[in-house]
Structure 1
Amino acid sequence: MNTLRITFYTLLLSFLAAVAVGQPGAVKLPERGLCAHRGCMDTHPENTLPAFRRAIELGAQMIEFDVQLTKDGQLVIMHDETVDRTTNGHGKVSELTLAELRQLDAGVRKDARFAGTRIPTFEETLAIMPRNVWLNCHLKGDEAVGKAAAARLVRSGRLHQAFLACGEAAASGARQVRPDILICNSENRYRKDTRKYVDATIAMRANFIQLLKADGENRTDVMALLRKNGIQINYFYAMQPDELLQLLESGVDFVLVNNLADFQQAAKQASITPVSPVY
Structure 2
Amino acid sequence: MSVEDNKGVNRKVHWQSHQSSNAEMPENTLAAILDAWELGGIPEVDIRQTMDGVIIGMHDETPKRTTSAPAADQDRLISECTFEQVQTWDAGVKFSAKYRGERVPSLEEVLVILTRHPERELYLDYKQVDLEKLAELVQQYGVGKQIIFCHKDHENCKAIKRLAPEIRTMLWIPDGETARSFEAARASGFEALDIIQLHLKDAEGDEGWRYKLGKDYLQHVQEQLTEAGLELEVLPFYFDQSSMFRLLDIGIRRFAVDEPRVFVATLNDYDFDKASFI
For 1:117, which of 83, 90, 102 is the aligned residue?
102
Which stretch shows the higher mean deviation, 85-94 or 238-247? Answer: 238-247
Gaps (5+ residues) in structure 1?
1-24, 273-279
Q: How many Å separate the matches in 2 of 1:237 and 1:46?
A: 18
Deviations 1:110-148 (A, max 9, x none): 11121121100111122234422332111113xx53222
Residue of structure 2 in register with 1:132 after alignment:
119
Residue of structure 2 in register with 1:252 after alignment:
252
Q: Give the deviation of 1:187 after TM superposition.
A: 6.5
Q: Report whether the alignment pairs 1:205 with 2:192.
A: yes
For 1:174, which of 156, 160, 163 is the aligned residue?
160
Residue of structure 1 in register with 2:36 after alignment:
55
Larger Rg, first or second structure (1 or 2): 1
Q: Give the deviation of 1:261 after TM superposition.
A: 1.2
| CA contact 1:235–1:255 (8 Å) conserved in 2 | yes
Letter in 1 for 2:96: D
Q: Give the deviation of 1:81 after TM superposition.
A: 1.3
Residue of structure 2 in register with 1:64 after alignment:
44
Q: Give the deviation of 1:172 after TM superposition.
A: 3.8
Instruction: State the superposition RMSD in angstroms.
Output: 2.5
TM-score after normalising by structure 1: 0.76
Q: How many Å separate the matches in 1 of 2:18 and 2:84?
A: 26
Compared with structure 1, are the counterparts of its residues 152 and 199 closer, same or farther at alpha carbon in structure 2 (3 Å cutoff)? Answer: farther
| CA contact 2:144–2:164 (8 Å) conserved in 1 | no
Q: How many Å separate the matches in 2 of 1:169 and 1:99?
A: 32
Residue of structure 2 in register with 1:237 after alignment:
236
Q: Report whether the alignment pairs 1:80 with 2:36.
A: no
**Higher relative contact order structure (alpha carbons within 8 Å, sequence separation ≥ 6):** 1
Give the number of aligned pairs: 239
SS at match of 1:192: coil
Q: Give the deviation of 1:173 after TM superposition.
A: 3.4
Task: Point out 4+ residue stretches in structure 1 off by more than 6 angstroms.
Answer: none
Gaps (5+ residues) in structure 2?
2-10, 201-210, 273-278
| CA contact 2:157–2:193 (8 Å) conserved in 1 | no
| CA contact 2:44–2:124 (8 Å) conserved in 1 | yes
Compared with structure 1, are the counterparts of its residues 157 and 198 closer, same or farther at alpha carbon in structure 2 (3 Å cutoff)? Answer: same
For 2:145, which of 148, 160, 164 is the aligned residue?
160
Compared with structure 1, are the counterparts of its residues 192 and 131 closer, same or farther at alpha carbon in structure 2 (3 Å cutoff)? Answer: farther
Letter in 2 for 1:111: S
